[in-house]
A and B are shown apart, each in its own frame.
Chain A
Amino acid sequence: MCILDETDSGLDIDALRIVAKGINLLRNENRSILLITHYQRLLDYIQPDVVHILSEGKIVAEGDHHLAATLEAEGYEPFLKKKTGAAS
């Protein structure tokens, strides 16, 4: 299993594509991959099976790759609000 912490940080678009290609080559039926990332950018090239959103030390939302796109469009705030409920 490979855990990739912010592998996309600081990469320009060409380097990102090459790194994503490398990560896709790591994919196989016996190997799991955990991508930890700020941005959806890397997920344009690597389609994850499951996306988890972490906030304040807890997972507050889970979904398929569409969740990353929603996140990119709406930001983290709607997900964080959901967790705190009516508090705000």
Chain B
Amino acid sequence: MIGVSKMKCPKHVVEMIHKYLDGDLHEDEGRELKKHLQSCEDCKAHYQELEKAVAFVKSISHVEAPADFTQKVLEKLPKEKRTVSTRRWFRNHPFFSAAALFVILMTGSLFASYEESQFSVTKYDNLVVDNRTVIVPEGETVKGDITVKNGDIKIEGKVEGNVTVINGDQYLASAGQVTGEVEEINELFEWLWYEVKSTLSEVFKQ
């Protein structure tokens, strides 16, 4: 039994109170403590003050890190090896990876051909070329498609096929005639699209 004398009761009981607060008190000890606290005001006050202190400390939790915390940590890290980020990116975006690969391969050749501002024209014997202007002479008939790059075309005769002018203009004389479609491509984007389209149609033809 715990004595009630002021000299020895606090130390012993206080130990029990702490054990109780840590969940370490046996059932019989618990009963003993309870009984003592009911009869001893000092120990009861001690217990209540401890509980209050713990409750106060618990009440100040739930602090959050600043919003930009993660970003700031990442900024302080050494640079990630490029291979890792690239590998991860491709792993996370399989469809986009395929598309990106396609675009990279395509644009390489596309830009190369776009930037060549060389004049060129589909070769036909009856076409007349005059300083970057292709002329389909009056009375002549070109059987097939004509593509002019970086030049103009003047159609006075007849074209039995499509006419495509890239980076140039086409002039259709009143007497001129084109059986197919006439297309002018000037913008880079259209040019890309045209190349992709014709590449794809070639691919699918096979």
A, B bound? no
Interface residues of B (CB under 8 A from A): none
Interface residues of A (CB under 8 A from B): none
